[in-house]
Amino acid sequence: MTTDIRERMAHVEAGLFHLATKNDVTTLESTLLKWFIGTAIALTGLVFATARLLH
């Protein structure tokens, strides 16, 4: 039974390397936020430019 537990534990520990760390999540969050804000500003500018061109 002890061998089975150790094998299971080794399997679980081997899978932990594929998980994101807190730093990874924070970095991704800030990057996505920058992209969302940049995209919103660009789309707003595009809408105003199109409206001005068509008016």
Gyration radius from the chain CA atoms: 24
- What per-residue confidence (pLDDT) applies to 20? 87
- Dist. CA 1–CA 27, nearest whole Å: 42
- What per-residue confidence (pLDDT) applies to 45? 98
- Dist. CA 15–CA 8, nearest whole Å: 11
Q: What is the pLDDT of residues 1-54, one digit of tens each?
A: 788 888 899 888 888 888 889 999 999 999 999 999 999 999 999 999 999 999
- Dist. CA 41–CA 38, nearest whole Å: 5
Does this model's pTM top 0.75? My answer is no
Which residues lie below 8 Å from residue 28, measured CB to CB, with a gap of 6+? 20
